[in-house]
Amino acid sequence: LTEAQAREQDYSVRADIVLFRNVGKAQVIGEIAGVAKIVSDAENGKILGVHIIGPHATDLIAEGTLAIKMGCTVKELAETIHAHPTLAEIMSETSFKALDRPLHCAG
């Protein structure tokens, strides 16, 4: 869902964004233009939507669709091991930011 769609469904919406430039692998390969956003329910952390624009977005979105399908929370996604260095760390970073515990970017 988008933020607007989640609000229409009466969710208490939280949206967290992390720029690709905050991920080491993106810096190494020189592909820092991009962003990932997780839309979640502010009350229970359930992931409602994931949006990715940037390098390999078509590959990276698979994790987001799985998280939504499985009913994952941002805490569960944050606790998932993400290999380093990989672009997939954008999902880890964004989920930690949703917990107010960003690893490599300003809160």
* Domain-wise residue ranges, the chain: 3-98
Token digits for 45?
């952390």
Omega within 30 of 0 (cis) for the link into 85? yes
9 φ/ψ angles, rounded to the nearest 5 degrees: -95, 15
Averaged confidence pLDDT in the chain: 96
Angle at 76 between CA 72 and CA 78, to 5 degrees: 125
User: pTM here?
Assistant: 0.94
Could you please state the CATH topology (level 3) that the domain comprising 3-98 is classified under: Enolase-like; domain 1 (3.30.390)
Which of 51, 56, 84, 104 is the catalytic position? Answer: 84
Bridge partners of 40? 14, 47
Residues 57-69, mean pLDDT to the nearest whole number: 98
Task: Give me the pLDDT at residue 104, please.
Answer: 78
Confidence band, pLDDT 50/70/90 cuts, at residue 106: low
Closest CA to 54 of 38, 32, 29, 22: 32
104 as an active site residue: the answer is no
Is the pLDDT at 48 greater than 70? The verdict is yes
Find the mean pLDDT for residues 72-88: 97
Is it the case that residue 107 has pLDDT exceeding 80? no
